[in-house]
Amino acid sequence: CLPVGFEPSEEDLAPSGSRYDGQIAVFGRKFQEKIANYREFLVGSGAIGCEMLKNWAMMGLATGPNGVIHITDMDTIEKSNLNRQFLFRPSDVGKLKSDTAAAAVAKMNPDVKGKIVTHQDRVGTDTEAVYNDGFFDEIDAVTNALDNVEARKYMDGRCVFYRKPLLESGTLGTKGNTQVVVPFLTESYSASQDPPEKSIPSCTLKNFPNAIEHTIQWARDLFAGLFVQPAESVNTYLSTTDYINTSLGQSNEQAKIDALTTIRDFLVTDKPLAFDDCVAWARKNFETLYNNNIQQLLYNFPADSVTSSGQMFWSPPKRAPSAIGFDPKNDLHVDFIVATANLHAFNYGLKGSRDRDHIKDVAASVSVASFEPKSGVKIQVNENDNAADNDNSYDPNELDKLVESLPDPSSYAGVRLIPADFEKDDDTNFHIDFITAASNLRASNYGITLADRFRTKQIAGKIIPAIATTTSLVTGLVCLELYKIIGSGEGDNKRKIDDYKNGFVNLALPFFGFSEPIAPAKYKYNDTEASEWDAFVFDHDITLQELLDHFKREHNLEVDMVSSGVTMLFSNFMARKKVDARLPMKFADIITDVNGKEIPSHVKQIVLV
């Protein structure tokens, strides 16, 4: 970690009564000044971000006259954050993470007060006017403290474009990793990646669950299908002129019928006028989900059915289900009705109720038609099957009848449903209550061990277990690499790739492994080698003809295609008339002409591929 060219004098290492004397005794006062005047961008202020910011405050990072720390996080503090994001307190719930974290470390080290600039903008293409050329020109490096791969890859791409060092890290329970990305010296974060997570096959979710994770995901999807998507569809119908042609124009007939049926049901047929109507709706959904659908499945595939190979159809991992009849004396059944009715009431802005006795009585009094399984119903058995849940044949006149049954949107002026956007941390909104009850009822259908509310919340909310010890270890390793980057040297006297280390740890084993970063892959054309860090840079807006001539003259290369983003600007198979028209045009003009709009004012550089 010692700075390149580290030759401090005894005076440079001597204590001076500074809070950084311990660090100065190792690195020297001159290097401490470099730390103090460093300019860093921290993306995220969650578990890793809080610990990182605390470490930087203790190091004295950006405390000098030219130092600055930019930190961005668009999230607000939730109650579930408090057990692992130690800069936050119960009184901070609801406040912005970036502002609160900055204020907390300023109390720890007053030297950083006024040196932290907070932002609440998500990093992405839509905020490039904020994090623009000027912004990246004013920072020295980037540290990611993110919780999703998409944002990590985006920031990695920006660091490659602006040629800025990037420090990357992540944790999962007792596991942690760190990665250092140095321009021209190492590969980027996006150059290698883990394989995608395995998803649960749709046929398993819909018909053949065999683990509680399957029923919880099914309940999570059901939540969206009952309380989010229908409300959004109704609102779109009420606010869109010529909805069928505008929003459903590219859909097939069956998809149109399904969408319009949902709108009709939620806007007309099943529209509640009082909370008791919501209870009745919940009771009918119980019957459909846990009785009728199971009876239909067993009608198609009886418990003793065999496959074409002579094996039992309901062989492991498949579990033969059993239908459930509603029992008002069963708490789990009532839990489902209470949560479902309240969420349905929320969609319509009706007042809910927690009176279980009243809800139980209303549900018990609902008349439910007896169910007779139907023949000809197709059920998907394998992931690759094209079979749907129902017959794709439909009455050609059904779509017209549905359209006629829908009310005129103008008669619902100002009326909107309220989608129940999923929020796992509000214990009063019935979201986790619904998913827990719905999942456990489905588990009861299939003889799967039930899960309590806490485990359901963890899986449905995709809560990654965080251990403070892992977080502190990983951020400590990142800070060691930050020392190396700050003291990396200049010109020919710079650190070599083997000075840096990527870290891999698992505290449960325990395992601590370190490796040299991988060098960037080299690509060769003619006698020239290049990597992802290299680019051809023109200091002015050139014409297409100038670009083609430059590559032919300077590099003996023929350009077959030029694009910017998703916009094709030139190709050798493009119509000759169009090519001739664009050859004398500057690229800014070509992009404006093709896209039909001006290039945003914050864009100072055009990226061509």
Helix (H, G, I), strand (E, B) or coil at 57: helix
Which residues, 6 or more positions from 464, have their beta carbon under 8 angstroms from its beta carbon? 147, 171, 172, 173
CA distance 533 to 48: 28
Identity at 207, one-letter amino acid code: N
Q: Active site includes 203?
A: yes
Token pair of 514, please? 């370190």
Dihedral angle over CA of 351, 354, 356, 358, nearest 10 = -30
Nearest to 517 by CA among 161, 43, 158, 189: 189
Our CA dihedral for 327, 328, 334, 336, rounded to 10 degrees, sits at 40
171: β partners: 176
Specify the 3-state DSSP secondary structure of 54. helix
Distance CA 586, CA 561 (A): 16
* d(C-alpha 538, C-alpha 261), whole Å: 57
> Which of 1, 50, 203, 479 is the catalytic position?
203
Sign of CA dihedral 505, 510, 516, 522: negative
Distance from C-alpha of 116 to C-alpha of 391, rounded to nearest angstrom? 61
Distances (CA, A) of 275 to 271, 341, 547, 581: 11, 7, 68, 66
**Cα gap 358→246, rounded to integer Å:** 44
Distance CA 436, CA 457 (A): 8
> Which residues, 6 or more positions from 58, have their beta carbon under 8 angstroms from its beta carbon?
108, 109
Q: Cα separations (Å) of 319 from 313, 476, 536?
A: 10, 48, 60
Would you say 42 and 71 are in contact if contact means Cβ atoms under 8 Å apart?
yes
Q: From residue 331, how far is each of 146, 263, 444 by CA, in Å?
A: 40, 32, 13
d(CA 105, CA 51): 10
Determine the residue type at 210.
Answer: N
CA distance 297 to 318: 13
What's the distance, Cα to Cα, between the start and end of the chain in Å? 38
**Euclidean distance between CA atoms 163 and 534, whole angstroms:** 9
Gap between the Cα atoms of 536 and 216, Å rounded: 51
Indicate which residues carry an active-site annotation: 203
